[in-house]
């Protein structure tokens, strides 16, 4: 018996970092069947994007709600319960133990998967130090992954450059989701810990989050197909 051929489309999550539902509708329509998994964060989420998330879900698309929750446990648990009722596939919280526990409790028996954000991909050691952390990026990621694993988290968001060490620390259970993905030659923007789609998958990422390299491309569908081709090559 053969293992099922992995569909690279399940691996690519396009970040709908756009200022209006109209702009998001137009991008989703341009991407057509090329992309099936979308992330909605602050920009679109605070501009009517949760209603659009419902439409995408009703249309059979997968939706990742990325509000990176971090609040008192009761508030996180109840917020996550609302995201579970929306039908989201993934939601993010910051990887603080109290927050992770509350989110796992709040999702109940729903299929929503809670992803814990370790150290943002726009952070390097200097940024962590400036925020008051003495430990290095690698030490902070390792500590947060160990805590996430003990809590039984559904997945981790980390830089592609951390994916291999995160998989070793996380064990086989749990998804690894990496933003900070930049095809060769594309602008890093504010991202500091980056890798190509090929390198991210080879390092053990299960899903790649890609925003500007696709969303800001003059031909988003061609840019998405190029990322998918790299994913397929890395999986072969
Ligand atoms: O949780 C995230 O998705 C996230 C975590 C992180 O550490 N870094 C990061 O860039 N992201 C998100 O991933 C997306 C990356 O977008 P681009 O840099 O445009 O590809 C943005 O929507 C970010 O909010």
Banded pLDDT at 5 (limits 50, 70, 90)? low
Mutate to test the pocket of ligand 1, among 92, 178, 211 (most ligand atoms within 8 A of CB): 211
Q: Angle, nearest 10°, between helix axes 97-106 and 137-151?
A: 40
Q: State residue 9's pLDDT score.
A: 87
173 pLDDT higher than 70? yes
Cα angle 168-141-236, degrees, rounded to a multiple of 5:
45
Sign of the Cα torsion 38, 39, 44, 49 reads: positive
Per-residue model confidence as pLDDT tens digits over 40-83: 999 999 999 999 999 999 999 999 999 999 999 999 999 999 99
Question: What value does the mean pLDDT of the chain take?
Answer: 96
What is the domain partition of the chain in residue ranges? 8-235
ipTM: 0.99
Percent of the chain with pLDDT over 90: 96
Cα of 1 vs centre of ligand 1, distance in Å, is 38
Cα of 42 vs centre of ligand 1, distance in Å, is 11
Mutate to test the pocket of ligand 1, among 124, 161, 179 (most ligand atoms within 8 A of CB): 179
Q: Binding residue per annotation — 17?
A: yes
Per-residue model confidence as pLDDT tens digits over 71-128: 999 999 999 999 999 999 999 999 999 999 999 999 999 999 999 999 999 999 999 9
34 pLDDT higher than 80? yes
Average pLDDT value for residue range 209-222? 98
Q: Binding residue per annotation — 70?
A: yes
Place of tokens 């648990």: 77
Average pLDDT value for residue range 204-231? 98
Q: State residue 56's pLDDT score.
A: 98
Q: Binding residue per annotation — 66?
A: yes
The CATH code that applies to domain 8-235 is 3.20.20.70
Nearest atom of ligand 1 to the alpha carbon of 42: 24
Average pLDDT value for residue range 129-158? 97
DSSP states along the chain: -PPPPP-GGGGEEEE---SSHHHHHHHHHHHGGG--EEEE-HHHIIIIIHHHHHHHHHTT-EEEEEEEE-S-HHHHHHHHHHHHHHT-SEEEEES-HHHHHHHHHHTTTSS-EEEEE-S-TT--HHHHHHTT--S-HHHHHHHHHHHHHHHT-SEEE--GGGHHHHHHHH-SSSEEEE--B--TT---TT--S-B-HHHHHHTT-SEEEE-HHHHTSSSHHHHHHHHHHHHHHHH-
């Amino acid at each position: 018996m053969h293992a099922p051929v992995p569909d690279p489309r399940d691996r690519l999550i396009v970040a709908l970092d756009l200022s209006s539902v109209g702009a998001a509708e137009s991008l989703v329509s341009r991407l057509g069947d090329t992309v099936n998994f979308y992330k909605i964060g602050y920009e679109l989420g605070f501009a009517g994007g949760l209603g659009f998330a419902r439409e995408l879900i009703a249309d059979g698309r997968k939706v990742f709600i990325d509000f990176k929750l971090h609040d008192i446990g009761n508030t996180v648990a109840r917020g996550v319960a609302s995201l579970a009722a929306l039908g989201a596939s993934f939601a993010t919280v910051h990887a603080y133990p109290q927050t992770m526990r509350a989110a796992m409790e709040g999702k109940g028996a729903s299929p929503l998967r809670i992803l814990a954000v370790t150290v943002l991909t726009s952070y390097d050691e200097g940024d962590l130090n400036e925020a008051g952390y003495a430990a290095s990026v690698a030490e902070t990621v390792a500590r947060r992954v160990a805590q996430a694993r003990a809590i039984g988290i559904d997945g981790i968001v980390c830089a592609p450059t951390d994916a291999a060490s995160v998989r070793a620390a996380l064990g086989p259970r749990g998804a690894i989701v990496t933003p900070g993905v930049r095809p060769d030659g594309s602008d890093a923007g504010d991202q500091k810990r980056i890798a190509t789609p090929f390198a991210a998958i080879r390092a053990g990422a299960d899903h790649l989050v890609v925003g500007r390299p696709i969303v800001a491309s003059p031909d988003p569908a061609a840019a998405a197909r190029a990322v998918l081709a790299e994913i397929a090559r890395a999986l072969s």
